Amino acid sequence: MKIAVFSTYRYDEEFLSRFNTGHELSFFTVALTEETVKLAEGFDAICIFVNDRVDSEIIKTLHKGGIKLIVLRCAGFNNVAIETANELGIPVLRVPAYSPEAVAEHAIALILTLNRKTHKAYNRIREGNFSLEKLMGFNLHRHKVAVIGTGNIGKAFCRILKGFGCLISAYDPYPSTELQDLGVKYGTLQETLNDADIVALHCPLTETTKHLINKETLKLFKEGAMLINTSRGGLIDTKAVIKALKTGQLGYLGLDVYEQESTLFFHDHSENVIQDDLITRLISFPNVLITSHQGFFTKEAMEEIAQITFKNIDAFSKG
């Protein structure tokens, strides 16, 4: 098949070329937008990522240009107008599960960094300051962690937390018996948030989960709790979270994803310019740690993504 790969990162070309099962790949180093959609004309399929915008109009243009398949190199598909794709008979295939450990381990890294204030120590020591002032953390052992969403990533996250001796509560419409056997206690969202020291989001962004963490649900948090989001930025009402950080209701915040990230993290890699007022306000708090949607970004995960992407393409091309 002739496949137009939209990728603003060089590493995609490296991994996709290595695992290519015989398709003709053309790489475009831009995100898919209204302006760039014409590049896909004459191709059979497009291969895209979370930062590509595939709204209804773009899908119609792709359809006119001959696109018969949309392949995502990621799990989340909230950037794709699925209904329009269905109406036009264009299958949308994704990589539902790849190295869930990559994201789970990144969530743990955010927790440990914030808790032990490693980011502060790193900066201080570069200035020759070895003081312990304001570096006191807490043991993870026996602390309560609330896990919202216990699918592939949530499960991997809980398994790691068990090793730390954490007390885990979880909320998911479909509780996992494997986790219950591990001692994870399921409850309602309210019960789960209530007395947790750490709240970690691992559910998808949907119409019902948008702003799941908002002014009201933040009131349910234990004072000074830590919130970790490696899932999707839209799960959090950022303005409400900033207020909670100001009052101390929220003690720590670790984000790998951010509400406006399509205009921020993926905007222009040649310029390190923060163009977002909310993110500027967030990073002004010393107890906030933000990474660049890099949870998935390990060698193992990239290999799996490339392999599953070609499995999807091959399955489609073989009918």
User: Using CB under 6 A as the criterion, which residues of the chain lie in contact with ligand NAD when the complex forms?
Assistant: 75-76, 97, 100, 103, 148-154, 171-174, 202-205, 208-209, 230-232, 256-257, 293, 295-296
Q: Which secondary-structure segment (H or E) carries 311?
A: helix 299-317
Q: Are 162 and 182 in contact (CB under 8 A)?
A: yes
Residues facing residue 26 across a β-bridge: 4
Least separation in angstroms between residue 280's CB and ligand NAD is: 22
Closer by beta carbon to ligand NAD, 91 or else 204: 204
Closer by beta carbon to ligand NAD, 101 or else 197: 101
Closer by beta carbon to ligand NAD, 64 or else 269: 269
What is the number of the residue whose Cβ is closest to ligand NAD? Answer: 151
Give the chain's end-to-end CA distance (angstroms, integer).
Answer: 13
For 133, residues 6+ apart whose C-beta sits below 8 A from its C-beta are none
Least separation in angstroms between residue 266's CB and ligand NAD is: 13
Closer by beta carbon to ligand NAD, 37 or else 305: 305
For 171, 203, 205, 212, 255, the CA distances from 208, given in Å and listed in that order, are 14, 11, 8, 8, 20
Closer by beta carbon to ligand NAD, 62 or else 146: 146
Least separation in angstroms between residue 149's CB and ligand NAD is: 3
Least separation in angstroms between residue 174's CB and ligand NAD is: 4
Instruction: Give the Cβ contact number of residue 286 at 10 Å.
Output: 12
Instruction: Give the Cβ contact number of residue 133 at 10 Å.
Output: 8
- Annotated catalytic, 232? yes
CA atoms of 234 and 318, how far apart (whole Å) = 37
- Annotated catalytic, 87? no
The closest alpha carbon to 14, from 270, 302, 266, belongs to: 302
Radius of gyration for the chain, computed over Cα atoms and rounded to the nearest angstrom: 21
Least separation in angstroms between residue 272's CB and ligand NAD is: 20
Of the listed 73, 101, 259, 261, which one is catalytic? 261
Closer by beta carbon to ligand NAD, 100 or else 251: 100
* Strands (E) located in 166-266: 167-171, 185-186, 198-201, 225-229, 250-255
Least separation in angstroms between residue 14's CB and ligand NAD is: 18
Please report how many Cα atoms fall inside a 13 Å half-sphere around the Cα of residue 3, on the Cβ side.
27
Of the listed 232, 259, 281, 300, which one is catalytic? 232
Closer by beta carbon to ligand NAD, 234 or else 251: 234
Helix/strand/coil percentages in the chain, nearest 5: 40, 15, 45
CA atoms of 225 and 202, how far apart (whole Å) = 17
Order of strands, edge to edge, in the sheet holding 198-201?
Answer: 185-186, 167-171, 144-148, 198-201, 225-229, 250-255, 288-290
Least separation in angstroms between residue 68's CB and ligand NAD is: 26
The SS3 call for residue 225 is strand
Give the residue numbers marked as catalytic. Answer: 232, 261
